Structure 1
Amino acid sequence: MVNIEFNNENIEKCRCPCCSVQAVSKCAYEKLDKLQKMSGNPGPDDVPGMYCVSGKTECDDFNPEGECQCPKCEVWKEYNLGEGEPAGYFCQNGKAK
């Protein structure tokens, strides 16, 4: 099982905010806006990303036809997530295992 820490360093490495799957998501943009104004450490529900750690998104307005950006993500590369299950689209398929 993959053990990726949910922390600010990994959040910064995450490419999800520029992912076309969530590009038109009002929910994701609201979370991103809230995150930018937040002080302290965010939780998984506060971040529009890190789905490889937190699992499926709670947002219901994602575009599943968009191109997944996971293979461009430094977290994905560092933890060899292409070799695990699922290999991408964590926002739809759940966290990395």
Structure 2
Amino acid sequence: MEVGYNKRNLERCLCKSCPVQIDSICANERKLNMLDTLANMKEGSLMPEPANMAAIYCSIGKSTCADINTDEICQCNKCPVFSENNLSTLYYCKLGKED
């Protein structure tokens, strides 16, 4: 199933607080930019480039941040985006989106 790349999913995504990227300098910089973008985004605005995101990897594919720690526990299975889209794998930040 294709997971929508949209503001609603971005707002509800748990990646922003996931232990896998909590200590990542790269992901934290992207997260700050992303939160600022979300706060200023108007309804119907275009979504930012996926490469600048630190979230909804189940939609955009794997992270390009080399300093994420996939030895930490993934929380994808606790995410509303995960359950609403009937997803089945974890660590989308490492493995990319489902086919």
Classify the TM-score, shorter chain: 0.7 to 0.9
Pairwise mapping of residues 36-47 of structure 1 onto structure 2 (< 5 A)?
36-38=35-37, 39-40=40-41, 41-47=47-53
Q: Which residue of 2 aligns with 1:89?
A: 91
Q: Which residue, 46, 49, 56 being the options, matches 1:50?
A: 56
Structure 1, residues 5-34: CA drift from partner, whole Å, max 9, x if none? 100001011100111110100001100111
1:18-97 equivalences under 5 Å are 18-38=17-37, 39-40=40-41, 41-82=47-88, 87-97=89-99
Q: Number of matched residues?
A: 92
Q: Which runs of 4+ in 1 moved over 4 A?
A: none
Unaligned runs of 5+ in 2: 42-46
Counting aligned pairs with the same residue, the percent is 37
Relative to the length of structure 2, the TM-score reads: 0.86
Q: Extract unaligned runs of 5+ from structure 1.
A: none
